[in-house]
Amino acid sequence: MHAKLPHKHSNTFLKAKKRWTLKQEALFFSLLADLLGAGFSLKQALQSLQSFMAINLTGVVEYLNTGGSFSASLKENISEALYCQLYIAEKHGNLLQTVQQLGQYLTKRLQQKAKLHALLIYPLLILGMLAFILSGIKIWLAPELVRFNSQRATVSYRQIENYAWYIGAIFSIVMFFYVLKIGYWWKKQSLLGRHSWYSGLPVLGKIYRQYLRYYLTFNLGLLLRSGLEFQQICELLQSFSPNTLLHQLGIELEKYLVSGRNLAELIKNYHFFPTELGLFFEKGKTQLEIGDDLLSYSKLAYLRLLQQMDVLLSWVQPLLFLLIAAIIIGTYLALLLPIYSSLGGMYT
């Protein structure tokens, strides 16, 4: 039976810690992976990092000197997901491999965030100019067009405006009740159900689903590879914070084990589990073999995750330009239709 993990550290070295930014996390894990790979011990690597990093690692080093674990020393600085991954690797797996993957993944996220900002600058600038132009049209030009129209055209134009207002009002009411329905449904969902919903969303859900596949198969692979029994794995996962995915997964796994149900049912119930996962738990395979299969799959899932993130970024700017084109066409139509209506009224 595993002891409950501490969620709040009374040690004075860990007090008043601030959560690191993505840039700080990426730099820390990347440099730490390089130093560990070069043969430095964990304490030596942290002491070396302290001399050329802006973040203060004194508390981390001192906490390790008192016998504390590496993952616990960083718990207040990093996200809960990173902490869980570090804890599992530190206790039951390969810490170097985990730190290397975290460094690569966080660095890639940082690069893609910078790329996204660069891609958004020009389209957002154009959208800002369009918003300014549309405001000018609405305030100054539209009233002039209404006055210019003949009585027949004016009525027609106002009818169009009224129809648009009614349609907008109906749409807003429908959306309001739809959001209420979603909120009611959301409150009834378990944490696993919510993660499954996230992973089922279009576009971004695909990226999130791939991340969870990497995250879960990597951690489960490490635990099985370490020789832990399924019941011990469930107890370990439940020792994490209740608001984490791994904690809820531990509860769900234990339910299936106690009831004797097939794990394939659990895999089918949630979008974020890879369909191939059921094949890994076929009869005749040892836990070590299953652990190796999961770790191999996690490497492929990690590469797919990076690839999908790159593909998504490549679509950002074209989609924004399509939106800009649609706004420009809509603006022209809003200007030209009343004018054509006026001309038609003059000739009749």
What is d(CA 70, CA 61) in angstroms, rounded to the nearest whole number?
Answer: 9
Residue 95, pLDDT score: 87
pLDDT (tens digit per residue) in 91-125? 876 788 889 989 999 999 899 889 888 888 888 88
In the predicted structure, residue 15 carries a pLDDT above the cut 60: no
Cβ-Cβ contacts under 8 Å for 67 (sequence gap 6 or more): none
Identify the residue whose tokens are 């689903």: 209
Residue 139, pLDDT score: 77
Find out whether 254 and 234 touch, Cβ atoms under 8 Å: yes
Closest CA to 235 of 216, 204, 257: 257
The pLDDT of 268-277, averaged and rounded, is: 82
The pLDDT of 43-59, averaged and rounded, is: 84
Cβ-Cβ contacts under 8 Å for 258 (sequence gap 6 or more): none
The pLDDT confidence band at residue 2, using thresholds 50, 70 and 90, is very low
pLDDT (tens digit per residue) in 126-171? 888 888 887 877 777 666 666 665 444 444 555 666 676 788 889 8
Residue 17, pLDDT score: 61
The pLDDT confidence band at residue 29, using thresholds 50, 70 and 90, is very high
